[in-house]
């Protein structure tokens, strides 16, 4: 087990990890030695984390996730699971882990008090007194206010064994990310349908002052009933109060989503930390749509390559990567990927209207 790092220490080590992961395996030892000449403790921490990354992702793939998610498996407390299971006895029976991120673990569970229905139980990884608890409470409050068939809803919430949790409907399907890893790209009619469903959900949330801020295929569930957006963990409420009475969020907390966004899907203004609004979700929708059509994201490579692409390079032509894409769909996706927010569609509702006219 690796002890949790302080925020200041994490800010020091995170860019070194990203830089090392962008190098070939044979170059990493030299990079670590050069970067940590005067700090043996830092060198040991960096070596340990890189070894964990290589063990967890032997074929790569860390750049498709936020840094906090990439290293989630390193922060594990002994007996945590057993204590939590015991505290939930008589209410929920946990049947296995369904997924995990930097802040929380999602379990498949059976609600023994309500007809034995299956639910997804999302559990905060750290204690209630931890700084992350406020953001998790905000996530619960935001999700509880959103009632839309294309957005995962909250069924129940509570605190057990020092861990905050909430229950959601269990979706019998897979994430869009998992589907793309299986089939690489989708048929155009499926792309149009999924884009409309996602845009409708975003439009509903945006109309209530909520922006997601980390829209990506792994946060979109797909089943026979269509697409459902999950994980408002870094969402930000612009027009609605989302904290408990007495809670406060300092400026560092309100901008936390900028640091936690996923590089492959981040809008330019999100990368640079400029003021953001609902149009960062529209940019992310453009990246997702580009990937659905072509099988790849517009920009890839090292973290720096991805950031530079989002900030200053035009995405490679969709037509050059796939023939037969409807011209109106091509143009809409490229408009969603405009560098300046003002050059993108004004709203998710506008996107839905344009999609409705594409055959």
What is the domain-level CATH number for residue 230?
A: 1.10.510.10
Q: Is residue 75 part of a domain?
A: no
Q: Is residue 70 part of a domain?
A: no
The last residue of one of the domains, among 145, 169, 193, is 169
Per-residue model confidence as pLDDT tens digits over 177-190: 999 999 999 999 99
More confident call, 244 vs 76: 76
- Residue 174 in tokens: 């897979």
- Shared domain for 201 and 346, answered yes or no, is yes
Per-residue model confidence as pLDDT tens digits over 257-310: 334 468 899 999 999 888 889 999 999 999 999 999 999 999 988 888 999 999
Q: Edge-to-edge strand order for the sheet containing 174-175?
A: 174-175, 220-223, 226-229
Q: Is residue 319 part of a domain?
A: yes
Provide the annotated active-site residues: 214
- Shared domain for 157 and 241, answered yes or no, is no
Name every residue whose Cβ is closer than 8 Å to that of residue 288 and which is 6 or more positions away in sequence: 176, 198, 215, 216, 217, 220, 265
Instruction: Indicate whether 108 pLDDT > 50.
Output: yes
Domain residue limits at 239: 174-356
How many domains are there within the chain? 3
**DSSP-based three-state secondary structure for 169:** strand
Per-residue model confidence as pLDDT tens digits over 129-141: 555 677 677 777 7
pLDDT in the model for residue 136: 73
Q: Is residue 251 part of a domain?
A: yes
What pTM did the predictor assign? 0.70
CB atoms within 10 A of CB 22: 18
Report yes or no: 83 and 89 within 8 Å, Cβ to Cβ. Answer: no
- Shared domain for 164 and 196, answered yes or no, is no
- Shared domain for 189 and 309, answered yes or no, is yes
279-294 vs 188-207: helix axis angle to the nearest 10? 170
């Amino acid at each position: 087990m690796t002890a949790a790092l302080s925020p200041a220490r994490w800010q020091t080590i995170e860019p070194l990890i990203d830089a090392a992961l962008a190098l070939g395996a044979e170059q990493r030892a030299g990079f670590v030695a050069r970067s940590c000449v005067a700090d043996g403790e830092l060198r040991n921490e960096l070596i340990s984390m890189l070894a964990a990354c290589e063990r967890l992702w032997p074929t790569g793939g860390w750049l498709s996730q936020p840094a906090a998610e990439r290293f989630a498996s390193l922060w594990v407390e002994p007996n945590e699971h057993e204590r939590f299971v015991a505290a939930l006895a008589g209410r929920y029976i946990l049947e296995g882990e369904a997924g995990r991120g930097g802040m929380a673990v999602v379990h498949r569970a059976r609600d023994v008090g309500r007809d034995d229905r299956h639910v997804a139980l999302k559990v905060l990884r750290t204690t209630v007194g931890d700084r992350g608890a406020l953001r998790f409470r905000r996530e619960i409050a935001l999700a509880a206010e959103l009632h839309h068939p294309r957005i995962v809803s909250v069924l129940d919430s509570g605190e057990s064994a020092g861990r905050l949790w909430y229950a959601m409907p269990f979706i019998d399907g897979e994430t869009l990310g998992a589907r793309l890893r299986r089939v690489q790209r989708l048929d155009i009619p499926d792309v149009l349908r999924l884009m409309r469903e996602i845009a409708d959900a975003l439009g509903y949330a945006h109309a209530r002052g909520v922006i997601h801020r980390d829209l990506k295929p792994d946060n979109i569930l797909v089943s026979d009933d269509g697409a459902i957006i999950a994980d408002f963990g870094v969402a930000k409420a612009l027009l609605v109060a989302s904290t408990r009475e007495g809670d406060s969020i300092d400026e560092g907390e309100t901008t936390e989503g900028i640091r936690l966004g996923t590089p492959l899907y981040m809008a330019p203004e999100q990368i640079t930390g400029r003021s953001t609004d609902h149009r960062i979700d529209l940019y992310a929708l453009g990246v997702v749509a580009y990937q659905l059509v072509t099988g790849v994201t517009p920009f890839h490579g090292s973290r720096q390559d991805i950031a530079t692409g989002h900030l200053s390079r035009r995405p490679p032509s969709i037509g050059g990567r796939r023939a037969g894409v409807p011209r109106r769909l091509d143009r809409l996706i490229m408009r969603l990927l405009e560098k300046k927010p003002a050059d993108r569609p004004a709203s998710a509702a506008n996107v839905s209207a344009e999609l409705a006219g594409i055959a």
